[in-house]
Chain A
Amino acid sequence: DAGITQSPRHKVTETGTPVTLRCHQTENHRYMYWYRQDPGHGLRLIHYSYGVKDTDKGEVSDGYSVSRSKTEDFLLTLESATSSQTSVYFCAIRPTSGGVNEQFFGPGTRLTVL
């Protein structure tokens, strides 16, 4: 599982509340990604990070912010959750050594915004 954990695994919250999802890795990989998965859309990239304090937007970044103050943690924040942000969120890492090109995914967080 490439040492990736996500917390919480499930969360139900109300519209307008802030929510933070955490992705933690144990292998000090430089690249980390946040995706959301919705029926009929596959996975869409929200934000990604290429190092501590280095982040950039993905395809569907509106309404989301991220932070990476330590190599091992990549946080995704919904400042004011909306029902359209109900989704399953996946974190992924990409190793940068050994010629590996694939991404490794965490188990996902199912978020419901009522």
Chain B
Amino acid sequence: SQQGEEDPQALSIQEGENATMNCSYKTSINNLQWYRQNSGRGLVHLILIRSNEREKHSGRLRVTLDTSKKSSSLLITASRAADTASYFCATDSGAGSYQLTFGKGTKLSVIP
């Protein structure tokens, strides 16, 4: 079963605007990760937030985590056409073998 569920499923914005994607999950986690997938390519890791962290920044990315609500959000500021991709959250429950459980993804389109 899917652990993470992203919202919205699809998002279309103008270049320069901010994009916010949300992820909800069901069970306790060790950390939560966000990945990006360009069309026809493999996934690329963007950022990781641990269960004891509330916010993390990396360049134009800002991730928040609310473990009480079992939710996370990814904010991309000042979006660019090159940010057009699908974005997935993935949860690591801390069990052995470092398995990740992925959500279904948000497809972001940034219009130049």
Contacts and interface: CB of A to CB of B under 8 A. Distances in A.
Q: Say if A and B assemble together.
A: yes
Interface of A: 31, 33, 35, 40-45, 48, 50, 56, 58-59, 90, 92, 94, 101-108
Interface stretch (B10-18, B40-48, B55-63, B68-76): B40-48
Nearest to B97: A50
B42 A105 contact: yes
Interface of B: 1-2, 4, 31, 33, 40-45, 48, 88, 90, 92, 96-105
Contact of B105 (A42, A56, A90): A42
B43 A105 contact: yes
Given A42-B2, A102-B33, 16 more contacts: A31-B98, A33-B99, A42-B4, A42-B102, A42-B104, A43-B43, A43-B102, A45-B99, A48-B97, A50-B96, A90-B42, A101-B92, A105-B42, A105-B43, A107-B41, A108-B42
Contacts of B42: 90, 105-108
Contacts of B100: 45, 103
Contact of B48 (A92, A94, A102, A106): A102
Residue among B2, B45, B92, B97 with most chain A CB within 10 A: B97
Contacts, number: 56
Contacts of B33: 101-102
B32 to A, nearest CB: 11
B97 A56 contact: yes
B99 A48 contact: yes
A45 B101 contact: yes
Given A101-B33, A103-B45, A43 B88 contact: yes
Which 8 pairs, one residue from A and one from B, show the smallest C-beta to C-beta distance? A105-B42, A102-B45, A42-B104, A43-B102, A42-B102, A105-B43, A94-B98, A107-B42
A104 B88 contact: no
14 contacts: A33-B99, A35-B102, A44-B102, A45-B100, A48-B97, A50-B96, A56-B97, A59-B1, A101-B33, A101-B92, A101-B98, A103-B45, A107-B41, A108-B41
